[in-house]
């Protein structure tokens, strides 16, 4: 039977201090007691979420090197998003780094208009699906959560992941949309959010959680607490539910341009 053990890292972040953040996550990951297959870090875990300041990494910068080291050390895929230089802008890049050093990535597609994110960040063009332990996973980043068309499950993934810097003021929306995406896509949904105030004074109170394909919460981190959450997902219950309730067969057919 296929299983997938995930460790979700809900953490505060040091503002624009890569060295401090990497040292902190090094210490946090050292505290993992159950061997995971996949370790998930929040959005822009090395810097905090800032788009108009010069903090982007080169294509093969120190943060990617750190991710490779951690993946090898923990014998697990380690994933999180990093601001990566792209010409005169940057990409919000969800890195997926395997223990053997193989790197895949997804660039955040939907940019937060109210924060003028598109003025500084290049929108991703590709929808990606990663595979591990017999599971297919759709990576998403923060604001992507609001756009269900892009996330429509064409029976091509089992788990949706969203890593975020989602503010506390809109926390109810985060909780509701994670649950809704699980139910409408007949999949597990994993959300990893940060806690604490960022350098702009924006508060984050967590909401890191895992929902099953019926929208039931399997585990949740405590609000406003830095915490590691480890959970093992089983593929058989998902497959059995979809076989008994194959709503995806009645979905409208369309193609994104």
Assign residue 122 the CATH number of its domain: 3.60.110.10
Asked whether residue 166 is domain-assigned, the answer is yes
Domains identified in the chain, total number: 1
pLDDT, mean of residues 186-208:
98
pLDDT, mean of residues 155-175:
98
Asked whether residue 256 is domain-assigned, the answer is no
- Residue 55: its pLDDT value, please? 86
Q: What is the mean pLDDT of the chain?
A: 96
Asked whether residue 255 is domain-assigned, the answer is no
Residue 218 has pLDDT above 90, yes or no: yes
- Residue 102: its pLDDT value, please? 98
**Residue 91, beta-bridge partner list:** 84
pLDDT tens-place string over residues 101-146: 999 999 999 998 887 888 999 999 999 999 999 999 999 999 999 9
Ranges assigned E (strand) in the chain: 3-10, 38-40, 77-86, 89-97, 103-107, 130-132, 135-141, 159-164, 188-193, 195-197, 203-205, 209-211, 217-220, 227-234
pTM beyond cutoff 0.85: yes
pLDDT tens-place string over residues 24-49: 999 999 999 999 999 999 999 999 99
> Which of 208, 243, 236, 204 lies closest to 222 in space, CA to CA?
208
**Domain that includes residue 165, residue range:** 3-250
Asked whether residue 246 is domain-assigned, the answer is yes
pLDDT, mean of residues 163-176:
98
Contact 82, 44 (CB under 8 A): yes
Asked whether residue 155 is domain-assigned, the answer is yes
pLDDT tens-place string over residues 57-78: 999 999 999 999 999 999 999 9
- 3-state SS track over 65-117: HHHHHHHHHHCCEEEEEEEEEECCEEEEEEEEECCCCCEEEEECCCCCHHHCH
SS3 content of the chain, % helix, strand, coil (to 5): 30, 30, 40
- Residue 116: its pLDDT value, please? 82
Asked whether residue 148 is domain-assigned, the answer is yes
Residue 254: pLDDT band (50, 70, 90) is: confident
Rounded alpha-carbon distances, angstroms, from residue 232 to 4, 16, 35, 238: 5, 33, 10, 13
Asked whether residue 98 is domain-assigned, the answer is yes
Annotated active-site positions, please? 43, 108, 142
- Residue 230: its pLDDT value, please? 98
């Amino acid at each position: 039977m296929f299983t997938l053990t995930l460790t979700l890292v809900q953490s505060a972040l040091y503002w624009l201090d890569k060295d401090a953040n990497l040292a902190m996550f090094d210490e946090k990951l050292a505290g993992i007691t159950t061997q995971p297959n996949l370790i998930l870090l929040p959005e822009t875990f090395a810097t905090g979420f800032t788009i108009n300041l010069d903090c982007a990494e080169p294509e093969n910068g120190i943060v990617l090197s750190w991710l490779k080291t951690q993946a090898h050390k923990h014998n697990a895929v380690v994933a999180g998003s990093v601001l990566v230089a792209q010409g005169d802008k940057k990409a919000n890049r969800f890195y997926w780094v395997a223990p053997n050093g193989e790197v895949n990535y997804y660039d955040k597609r939907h940019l937060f208009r109210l924060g003028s994110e598109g003025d500084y960040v290049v929108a991703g063009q590709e929808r990606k699906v990663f595979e591990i332990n017999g599971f297919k996973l759709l990576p998403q980043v923060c604001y992507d959560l609001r756009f269900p068309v892009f996330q429509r499950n064409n029976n091509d993934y089992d788990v949706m992941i969203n890593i975020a810097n989602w503010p506390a003021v809109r926390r109810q929306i985060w909780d509701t949309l994670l649950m809704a995406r699980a139910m409408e896509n007949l999949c597990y949904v994993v959300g990893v959010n940060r806690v604490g105030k960022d350098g702009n004074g924006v508060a984050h109170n967590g909401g890191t959680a895992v929902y099953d394909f019926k929208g039931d919460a399997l585990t949740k981190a405590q609000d406003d607490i830095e915490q590691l959450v480890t959970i093992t997902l089983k593929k058989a219950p998902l497959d059995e539910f979809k076989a008994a309730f194959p709503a995806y067969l009645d979905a409208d057919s369309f193609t994104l341009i």
